[in-house]
A and B are shown apart, each in its own frame.
Chain A
Amino acid sequence: MPTPTLLQSIAITLIQCVLVVIFVFVVVPLTVFAERKVLGHLQQRLGSTRVASGHIGVTGWMNRGMWKWGRIPVLSYWRGIPGLVADVLKLILKEDIIPAKADKFVFFIAPAISMVSAVVVFAAISFVPGTFFIFPSWFPGLAGLPVSGGIADINVGLLWILGVASVGVYGIVLAGWASNSKYPLLGGLRSAAQMVSYEVPLAISLLAPVVLTGSLNFSEMAQRMATGTSAWGLVPQVFGFLIYLTCGFAETNRLPFDMPEAENELVAGFHTEYSGMKFGFFYLAEYINMTVVSALAAGFFLGGSWLLPFGLQGLVNKLLPAGAWIAGPHAIFFVAKIIFLLFTYIWVRGTIPRYRYDQVMSVAWKYLIPLALVNLLLAAFVRCAV
């Protein structure tokens, strides 16, 4: 394999960035759509499961036509898509109001901070350990060069992820402050306290798989989990996983911990004064953060992108024809794990009510942090023993 020149590596990195951004902006609208559909089915809503099952246009044709495509379960899943399209159009086209007494610069920059910190985390996430694909020989300038499964496969991946993700709280606090209004201020204050508190057990719970595998690097951890006895991380880390997931819900401000927004108390919390695409940025950031949390869970507790634990992967690889493109299916399985975790988010939202603010804090400090510490200690013992 040829070594890339500086220019070539920059080009490859840019291509990777584009791929990741495309991934993010495909997954997010799909998650929003899935949320409508899943909640629609959970709660027996009429709109999101039936919109466009009507009689006009393409969808009408699909319903009425000779073949009645709409009756086939998979194909009937387009129902509800018009709602999604209308929603996105509304976000983009709506008037963007900045309150007269707001701090205009901070008001403007806050959604950007939230969004950027959410997207940048993906830099350190490997979708596939090692090489994702090799440029074919006809590709101008980059022929034969490998593209790795993550943008920056750095050896302090976890530190980067936690560091960048925690910047996101600034977006929320600044939004609450800059709006110069009381409900956003309360929302901002709540979120500052909540997110800072939950970062502690979140980080500690993530440390346990690090201790078990002995690496901070995303793809290396995945590789070590696939081989050896620490299979998938989930098996020895069930509690760690649950703690992580709970903290993940809190970090992304989802029910039952959606304190900063708590629509029935604080109207819309920190983004009460936001409209149009600025609000859209917060909205997108929330869903990107959900994807990030799910990706981390997949990487740290569900064995990264690997197909099978307990060394079974080696067997599968033997069965596959030599030179088969294994990275593709790996990436698909990684995404499948993310999708399952995103489904869990929606599922929980459809099931349980919201904690009160003081209860949220006591859950973090009185239960989650001690439990996470105990879990870490156990992991350390296991590591020494094995």
Chain B
Amino acid sequence: MFKNEEMEINLGPQHPSTHGVLRVKLRLDGETITHCKPVIGYLHRGVEKICENQTFFQGQVWTDRMDYCSAVANNLGWAEANEKLFGITVPRRAQYIRTLLNEFNRLASHLIWLATHALDIGAMTVFLYAFREREDILDMNEAFCGSRLTTTAFRIGGLREDLPPGFEKMARKFLAKFPTCLEEYENLLSENRIWKKRTVGVAMLSAEDAIALGVTGPVLRAAGVPYDIRKAFPYAAYAEMDFEVPTQTAADTYARYLVRMAEMRQSARIIQQCLDGMPEGPVMAKIPKILKPEVNEVYHATEAPKGEIGYYLVGEKGSTNPYRFHVRAPGFINLQSLPKMAEGGLIADIVAAIGTLDIVLGEIDR
């Protein structure tokens, strides 16, 4: 008389908590997920191909539009990959400013993650608080390069301009208040019974699985692997900075929350060091007006807020455009772990899993 049937349900591409246009095909047994398949490509613009048809100078604006929450980190990777390709040495002051802006960007990106992740789990207030602080960072972006989100912050060889007057004051003011803001979020979440019930033991991803799937960034570090490119292969001015790589071993959503919160503290520490130790000097290396590559190919990886972002550039002799351009986008590769995290859980857990992966579809689909 009665029979069990699995229900197939479409989470997205239009759904409040898929962070853009992610579509997830779910098969449900009651509320339990038995099968989960992410479907991507709704935001595909062909960034890689477009960049192959433009000069090396022009490519950077497209990297802004991949992970639009951490445009500065994308810009940094692009600029450094090109500098590696052309053998350009960047002045020390420019390196410091790049590091400074990159860490501010990490804060902004992590704040967006915190805001949306908390909202997905129902904590609406944290959402608005986190956006309040992000606003200050965007103001600083604006002061530096006139743009808030799609910054195109750097140039191959350094910076277009030095820091504007008053920037240091803004930054120090932000640093002075930021720890209390972090405490405010943590007061609302860290020891909240409901928050812990929703995150502890949810969406587990063990270190072996994470490594097998190529997962990087805070998701990997929350599984106990202390891999951070800023430490492992230092770039920009990170070799001169004193900071820790926070790790957790629980490998669940709560551990990722703790890792990212700790990372925000470390970022603030790095910013402080950049401000205190800012060297004087030029911010732009001498580079030719037209760049034609000498080395054939280059892969450069940096630690974006979401994980390892790698730029693979192949130069053609005598051409001003890259012959091949490929991005190893952290969101794209981290998203692979979604079925592993979500299957067997409840439908409410997939929302937590998507939130904890911290994906941006602009980067996944490119």
Residue numbers of A with Cβ under 8 A of B are 39, 42-45, 182-183, 186, 190, 255-256, 258, 262-267, 349-359
Contacts and interface: CB of A to CB of B under 8 A. Distances in A.
Interface size class of B (residues with CB under 8 A): 20 to 34
A154 B280 CA distance: 85
A356 B346 contact: yes
A265 B347 contact: yes
Contacts of A349: 124
Given A44-B128, A350-B124, A356-B348, 14 more contacts: A42-B125, A43-B124, A258-B122, A263-B16, A265-B347, A265-B348, A351-B125, A352-B194, A353-B122, A353-B192, A353-B194, A354-B122, A355-B194, A358-B346
13 contacts: A43-B124, A43-B128, A190-B31, A256-B194, A264-B16, A264-B121, A265-B17, A351-B125, A353-B118, A353-B123, A353-B198, A354-B194, A357-B348
Given A263-B16, A349-B124, A351-B188, A357 B346 contact: yes
B9 interface: yes
A256 B122 contact: yes
Interface of B: 7, 9-10, 15-17, 31, 118-125, 127-129, 132, 188-189, 192, 194-195, 197-198, 346-349, 351
Contacts of B132: 44
B119 A355 contact: no
A258 B122 CA distance: 9
A355 B119 CA distance: 13
B17 A353 contact: no
A267 B351 CA distance: 11
Contacts of B348: 262, 265, 356-357
Given A43-B125, A262-B348, A353-B123, A267 B188 contact: no
A37 to B, nearest CB: 15
B16 A267 contact: yes
A4 B128 CA distance: 58
Q: Which of A39, A264, A355, A358 has the most CB of B within 10 A?
A: A264
Given A352-B192, A358-B31, A359-B197, A264 B351 contact: yes
Contacts of B198: 353-356, 359
A165 B93 CA distance: 69
Contacts of A358: 31, 346
Given A44-B132, A267-B15, A357 B31 contact: yes
A265 to B, nearest CB: 5
A53 B351 CA distance: 38
A261 to B, nearest CB: 11
Given A353-B122, A353-B123, A265 B197 contact: no
6 nearest CB pairs, A to B: A354-B122, A353-B122, A353-B123, A264-B17, A43-B128, A356-B348
A262 B123 CA distance: 12
Nearest to A349: B124
Nearest to A183: B9
B9 A182 contact: yes
Nearest to A354: B122
Nearest to B349: A356
Nearest to B352: A356
Contact of B128 (A45, A262, A267, A354): A45
A45 B15 CA distance: 24
A262 B121 CA distance: 9
Most buried by B among A182, A266, A352, A356: A356
A259 B169 CA distance: 46
A353 B121 contact: yes
Contacts of B351: 264-265
A343 to B, nearest CB: 16
B355 to A, nearest CB: 9
A199 B142 CA distance: 54
A189 to B, nearest CB: 9
A90 B95 CA distance: 53
A349 B9 CA distance: 29
Contacts of A353: 118, 121-123, 189, 192, 194-195, 198
Contacts of A356: 197-198, 346, 348-349
Given A262-B348, A351-B188, A357-B346, A255 B128 contact: no
Given A43-B125, A354-B198, A264 B120 contact: yes
Contacts of A352: 122-123, 192, 194-195
B359 to A, nearest CB: 15
A359 B192 CA distance: 15
A354 B198 CA distance: 8
A201 to B, nearest CB: 18
A98 B127 CA distance: 33
A262 B198 CA distance: 14
A255 B122 CA distance: 8
Contacts of B125: 42-43, 350-351
Nearest to A263: B16
Contacts of A359: 197-198
